[in-house]
């Protein structure tokens, strides 16, 4: 995938601005961030690549009445060896295979065929927030069941997989329920009180992020646990719904699946520190 720096144009006059930004990343995603963006501001980024059996998911986290229109436009005319500038010039909105307005907080999914696509974002109603366009495979990875953490580690091709068992948290005592794996990643489903947690460990040589979770969160921050920087994400400041980190050889993820119907539930700082320290 060709990675493009943010290119920003005020539609109709060619004046550059700093209120609407976009970037395409290694995880086959495009993220558009608006800060007091004005109607008509437009930005193009990409490409993202869609293969057979994959779909495009668009997640919006926009404030108030803000609306951003997203168009997905085939980039095939520019050719496989095209420069970023040639890709930009090849974009013709009339050829869009997806034309969708993002607003508020929501998710839309669509099948668009296969190939390389540029992402064009245009502000319809002024405002702030973000929209993420990503490629995903419905159902996610096909996990295989394992009887123990050791069996999950062996199936995934890891040297070991140690997860919290009996660790005391502010929520209660952590108890492992089940284990599973895919090539390069082991997973443990763990319960504490009425909270469901997933711990994952994967090979850093094969994965950048083993959370396989692409939601946009309102808050993110970094803490050090045992000298390792740990990145936390959540919709409430100081409560981590997703936590990821790496030791260079392995990548790790700690996911919270909510408490009851509280989808924004997150772990408090002491619990994050204790649980992260217990995963090896």
CATH number where 18 lies? 2.60.120
Residue 127 resides in a domain: yes
Residues 96 and 163 in one domain: no
pLDDT at 6: 32
Residues 57 and 131 in one domain: yes
Residue 274 resides in a domain: yes
Residue 3 resides in a domain: no
Among 136, 166, 192, which residue terminates a domain? 136
Residues 106 and 176 in one domain: no
Among 75, 108, 136, which residue terminates a domain? 136
CB 73 within 8 A of CB 127: no
Residue 271 resides in a domain: yes
Res 59 pLDDT > 80: yes
CA gap 272, 146 in Å, rounded:
25
Residue 1 resides in a domain: no
Residues 125 and 155 in one domain: no
7-21, 30-44, 196-210, 212-226, range with the lowest pLDDT:
7-21
Residue 267 resides in a domain: yes
Q: How far is CA 275 from CA 5, 88, 168, 191, 257, in A?
A: 37, 45, 9, 12, 15
Residues 113 and 149 in one domain: no
Residues 122 and 228 in one domain: no
The first and second tokens of residue 57, run together, are: 């998911």
Mean pLDDT to the nearest integer, 201-227: 89
Res 84 pLDDT > 80: no
Res 20 pLDDT > 70: no
The first and second tokens of residue 140, run together, are: 């996610």
Q: Report CA dihedral (14, 70, 46, 59) to the nearest 10 degrees.
A: 130
pTM assigned to the model: 0.56
Among 78, 109, 136, which residue terminates a domain? 136
Query: How many independent structural domains does the chain possess?
Result: 2
Residue 206 resides in a domain: yes
Res 68 pLDDT > 80: yes
pLDDT at 243: 95
Res 42 pLDDT > 90: no
Residues 23 and 130 in one domain: yes
Boundaries of domain holding 50: 8-136
Residues 148 and 272 in one domain: yes
Residue 2 resides in a domain: no
């Amino acid at each position: 995938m060709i990675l493009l720096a943010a290119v920003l144009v005020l539609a109709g006059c060619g004046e550059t601005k700093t209120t609407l930004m976009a970037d395409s990343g290694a995880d086959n995603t495009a993220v558009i961030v608006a800060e007091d963006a004005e109607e008509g501001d437009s930005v193009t980024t990409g490409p993202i690549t869609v293969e057979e059996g994959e779909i495009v998911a668009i997640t919006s986290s926009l404030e108030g009445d803000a609306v951003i229109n997203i168009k997905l436009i085939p980039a095939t005319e520019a050719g496989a060896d095209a420069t970023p500038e040639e890709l930009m010039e090849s974009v013709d909105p009339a050829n869009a295979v997806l034309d969708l307005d993002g607003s508020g907080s929501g998710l839309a999914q669509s099948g668009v065929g296969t190939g390389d696509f540029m992402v064009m974002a245009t502000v319809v109603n002024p405002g702030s927030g973000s929209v993420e366009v990503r490629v995903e495979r419905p159902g996610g990875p096909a996990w295989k069941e394992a009887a123990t953490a050791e069996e999950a580690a062996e199936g995934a091709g890891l040297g070991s997989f140690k997860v919290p068992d009996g660790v005391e948290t502010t929520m209660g005592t952590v108890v492992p329920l089940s284990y599973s794996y895919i090539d390069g990643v082991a997973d443990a489903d763990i319960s504490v009180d009425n909270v469901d947690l997933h711990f994952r460990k994967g090979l850093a040589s094969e994965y950048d992020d083993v959370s396989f979770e692409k939601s946009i969160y309102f808050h993110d921050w970094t803490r050090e646990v045992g000298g390792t920087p740990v990145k936390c994400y959540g919709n409430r400041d100081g409560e981590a719904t997703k936590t990821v980190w790496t030791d260079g050889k392995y990548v790790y993820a700690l996911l919270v699946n909510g408490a009851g119907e509280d989808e924004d539930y997150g772990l408090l700082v002491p619990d994050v520190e204790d649980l992260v320290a217990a995963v090896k």
